[in-house]
Structures are given as structure tokens and as C-alpha cells.
């Protein structure tokens, strides 16, 4: 039976969350965008032009995710559930929050280990991908080619309203490893109006544009989560 705890914590994570697990971020030097152009691999137009290139790009990402392990920050977030109701809202398409043991995870931008139809009924069904490879032979029941279940630039974010609702109920907000440059996701932090305490953990936290109500933790995710765990234990 689900039990309700007194404290509600929301975690809002981005690519930096998984950096210590060996998964590249998008915007750091040597991040993914250094080597690819967004329009070539992460837009509906890219799929229309060259589905094989897009599929190969995400196959490589999936291979990387399968080889990665959750890091100490993912584990610390899962451990918060011993004393709080925790909702993880992630921009990440990897499954490292799941593998660390978090129970409530909302993937704003999809999940790389799932596929969906490239036809008109894209959000009707999601299909788990066995292993790392999606190929041109993988089709949905309507005969359309399967594409990664990832929200591309220019596409709607169907989970946005659910995420906003969850954030509006949180007492504590922990934002980790996001440059807050991808919209509409980045705007979600403003829904946490009720949260008494808000942290942002990022080695570049000082440079990030967040309201003054945020406490900036200028560290990598694992060290920052350790500091926040200590802070929470004292309260
Ligand atoms: N792991 C993944 O699933 C993955 C990886 C790359 C990109 N993406 C997607 O890319 C989009 C990019 O936006 P974004 O804001 O998430 O990423 P981003 O690349 O724009 O920003 C990453 C942020 O993480 C910080 N960072 C780097 N190393 C860190 C560490 N060890 N600990 C904490 N923070 C660290 C950087 O300073 C930066 O501010 C998202 O929509 C996301 O879906 C996902």
C-alpha cells in the first residue's frame, strides 16, 4: 500500500546528471552537439530526410546508455525515498534513474530504450527495444517504420502539464545538471512556487539563469547530492 510522507521532493534532472556515468551532455565542450548538428539528427525534418542517419545516431546513444551504470547521484536520489515522497522529472532519455531504484520518474523527452511509430499514431503505443539496435525492418502494426521514442526539437512535450502539476506540489526542488536552455522544459522550474527550498547543482551553477530563490551548489552531481543529503538529514 502506498504511504504518504510529510516531505515532497521534486528532482528535475538534465544531461549533467548522467555525465559521471560516462554519458555525454549536449552543450559542454566535447558534448554531443560538438560533433553533430541538431538539424541532422534530432528534428522531424531530419527523420523525413534521412531516417537511417537518425536511427544510427540514436543506436549509438543507446549502446552508450546500455554500457553505463547509475552514478552516486542517481543512487542518492533513489535513497531520498526512505524519508520523502520523491518525484523525478527528467529531461534525460537514459534509464539510469530507473536502474538506481527511483520509483516515480517522468521522462519529459522520451526514453531511448523505447520506440514508437513514425506514422500518424505516434503516441498510441511504445515498444521496448531489445538491445541497442533499431533497424529499418522494425515496423509498427500499421506498417510504419519505428523511430526512437524521443521528443525532437520542434515537437510537443506531451508530459509537460503533468510535470508542472507535480512541481507545484513540491516542498523542496532539486535541479541537477541542466543548462536550462531547452524550452519548454526549462520553464518548468517556475512552477515550484510552493517549494520552501530550491537547489541547483551544476559545476556551472553560477552562470545559470535561475531566480534568486535558488541556492547554487557549484559541484558535480554526486558531490552536490551528498551535500544536500547532509542538509536534509539535519532537518
Ligand atoms: N543522458 C541523457 O539522456 C542525455 C544526454 C545528453 C542530452 N540529453 C538531452 O539533451 C537536452 C539538453 O538539455 P540539458 O539541459 O539536459 O543538457 P545540457 O547539455 O544543455 O546541459 C548540461 C548541464 O550539465 C552540467 N554538467 C556537466 N557535468 C556535470 C556533472 N558531472 N554534474 C552536474 N552537472 C553537470 C553542465 O554544466 C550543463 O549546465 C535535454 O533535453 C536532454 O533530453 C539527454
Strand 85-90 to strand 197-201: parallel, antiparallel, or no bridges (unpaired)? unpaired
Query: Is 109 among the residues known to form the active site?
Result: yes
**pLDDT attached to residue 207:** 94
Write the burial class of residue 35 (CB in 10 Å: 0-12 exposed, 13-18 middle, 19+ buried).
Answer: exposed
Cell numbers 537514459 correspond to what residue? 94
Tens-place pLDDT, residues 160-216: 999 999 999 999 999 999 999 989 999 999 999 999 999 999 999 999 999 999 999
Tens-place pLDDT, residues 104-150: 999 999 999 999 999 998 888 999 999 999 999 999 999 999 999 99
Write the burial class of residue 164 (CB in 10 Å: 0-12 exposed, 13-18 middle, 19+ buried).
Answer: middle
Three cell numbers at 227?
551535500
Cell numbers 541547483 correspond to what residue? 200
Q: Average pLDDT for residues 54-82, to the nearest whole number? A: 96
Q: How close is the Cα of 173 to the center of ligand 1, in Å?
A: 18
pLDDT at 72 over 80: yes
**pLDDT attached to residue 27:** 72
Structure letter (DSSP) for residue 204: T
Measure Cα distances from 18 to 75, 145, 159, 164, 232 in Å. 12, 29, 21, 23, 23
Q: Which residues line ligand 1 (CB under 6 A)?
A: 14-16, 18-20, 23, 25-28, 31-32, 91-94, 109, 176-179, 181-182, 201-204, 220-221
Domains of the chain: 8-234 (3.40.50.1220)
Amino acid at each position: 500500500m502506498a504511504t504518504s510522507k510529510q516531505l515532497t521532493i521534486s528532482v528535475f534532472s538534465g544531461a549533467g546528471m548522467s555525465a559521471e556515468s560516462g554519458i555525454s551532455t549536449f552543450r559542454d565542450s566535447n558534448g554531443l552537439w560538438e560533433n553533430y548538428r541538431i538539424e541532422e539528427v534530432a528534428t522531424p525534418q531530419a527523420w523525413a530526410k534521412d531516417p537511417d542517419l537518425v536511427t544510427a545516431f540514436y543506436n549509438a546513444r543507446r549502446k552508450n546508455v546500455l554500457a553505463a551504470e547509475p552514478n552516486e547521484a542517481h543512487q542518492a536520489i533513489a535513497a531520498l525515498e526512505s524519508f520523502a515522497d520523491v518525484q523525478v522529472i527528467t529531461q534525460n532519455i537514459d534509464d539510469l534513474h530507473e536502474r538506481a531504484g527511483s520509483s516515480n520518474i517522468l521522462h519529459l523527452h522520451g526514453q531511448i530504450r523505447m520506440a514508437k511509430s513514425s506514422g500518424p499514431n505516434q503516441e498510441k503505443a511504445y515498444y521496448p527495444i531489445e538491445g541497442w539496435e533499431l533497424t529499418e525492418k522494425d515496423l509498427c502494426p500499421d506498417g510504419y517504420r519505428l523511430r526512437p521514442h524521443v521528443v525532437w526539437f520542434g515537437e510537443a512535450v506531451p508530459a509537460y502539464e503533468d510535470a508542472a502539476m507535480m512541481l507545484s506540489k513540491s516542498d523542496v526542488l532539486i535541479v541537477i545538471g541542466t543548462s536550462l536552455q531547452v524550452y519548454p522544459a526549462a520553464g518548468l522550474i517556475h512552477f515550484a512556487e510552493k517549494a520552501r527550498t530550491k537547489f541547483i547543482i551544476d559545476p556551472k551553477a553560477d552562470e545559470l539563469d535561475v531566480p534568486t530563490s535558488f541556492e547554487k551548489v557549484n559541484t558535480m552531481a554526486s558531490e552536490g547530492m551528498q551535500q544536500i543529503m547532509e542538509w536534509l538529514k539535519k532537518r
